[in-house]
Structure 1
Amino acid sequence: MKRLSLLLLLALLGMTPSASSFAVEEEIVVVVNQASSVRAAGRDTLRPIFQTTRTEWYGKSAVPVNLPDDSSLRQRFDKAVLGLDPEGVARYWIDRKIRGGERPPRKASSPSAVLRIVGEEAGGIGYVAAGDVNPSVKVIARIRDGQVVPP
């Protein structure tokens, strides 16, 4: 009803809304291999894994998987989990390279590639849009409105 009222008001004012006026960001889910014993993870757990300062997790080598830098899902994930915008993320990895730290997470070209890698790696962990989840993975966290929340 509110949307209809808004559309009528815009029409009376001679304005037409764009598709993005009503766009709702799809929820991001953090996923691990289906066989993992992990049930839930918060920001304080996810951040060091995706910054590769924590390489072991529940007795396995952590294998974090990122989407490409220009992915809006990646940028939303980085903001919520790392607290960094794209420029901050780039600076972080340049600094890590100079100082000889661990390499950045593995990059996957698409959400389906993230799911395939995480589904095949015992220590795999990645993120996709909620609508992309398949049975090879399980959800351990959700990102809603820029906040990491339980699954």
Structure 2
Amino acid sequence: MKRSSLLLLLALLGVSPSASSLAVEEEIVVVVNQANPARAAGRDTLRPIFQTTRTEWNGRSAMPLNLPEDSPLRQRFDRAVLGLDPDGVARYWIDRKIRGGERPPRKVSSPGAVLRAVAEEEGGVGYVAASDVNASVKVIARIRNGQVIPP
């Protein structure tokens, strides 16, 4: 639905939208350890790392990190990078477990935990909201409007 149509519908219903309800979703950034030589990574690079079908990256063991399944940031990341909704992600990991594949990425509790783990582990790769990123990590991709783009 176009923004103008949404505003008209809300006006007809007598609802006054807040600025946050119509705001564009915050950009997600994919981050790696400062020692990682990668300058950029696209969906074709990130997808196998986060599906753990690629366990080595730039001469290191890849250590992908995920936020909890109920995190809206995680759900947006999974849609953009894996092309899966939450149910699809759950089915993927059940199938991998049945077939004896690699374990899922390590789950951490918060964006701060992602940044700390990536900063400490040379093979670390994770994602946070753009507003959370700091100098302890390096941005190698951005997710904007559901698309993975260069930093």
Q: Deviations over 1:50-88 (max 9, x none)?
A: 000000000000000000000000000000000000000
AA matched with 1:92: Y
How far is 1:36 from its partner? 1.1
Q: Which runs of 5+ in 2 are unaligned?
A: none
Q: Aligned equivalents of 2:87 and 2:36: distance in 1?
A: 33
Q: Deviations over 1:75-126 (max 9, x none)?
A: 0000000000000000000000000000000001000000000010000000
TM-aligned CA distance change 1:37 to 1:16, over 3 Å: same
How far is 1:35 from its partner? 1.5
Q: Aligned equivalents of 1:69 and 1:14: distance in 2?
A: 34
Q: Aligned equivalents of 1:82 and 1:113: distance in 2?
A: 22
Counterpart in the other structure of 1:65:
65
- Equivalences for residues 11-90 of structure 1 within 5 A: 13=12, 15-19=14-18, 20-90=20-90
Q: Aligned equivalents of 1:22 and 1:49: distance in 2?
A: 33
Q: Which moved more, 1:15-24 or 1:70-79?
A: 15-24
Q: Aligned equivalents of 1:24 and 1:63: distance in 2?
A: 30
How far is 1:139 from its partner? 0.3
Counterpart in the other structure of 1:139:
139
How far is 1:17 from its partner? 2.4
Counterpart in the other structure of 2:127:
127
Q: Deviations over 1:34-60 (max 9, x none)?
A: 121110000000000000000000000
Q: Aligned equivalents of 1:109 and 1:14: distance in 2?
A: 39
How far is 1:14 from its partner? 6.9
Q: Aligned equivalents of 1:87 and 1:14: distance in 2?
A: 33
TM-score between both structures, scaled by the size of structure 1 = 0.90
How far is 1:149 from its partner? 0.3
Aligned length: 145
AA matched with 1:57: W
Counterpart in the other structure of 1:93:
93
Q: Which runs of 5+ in 1 are unaligned?
A: none
AA matched with 1:95: D
Which secondary structure state, in structure 2, belongs to the residue aligned with residue 142 of structure 1?
Answer: strand
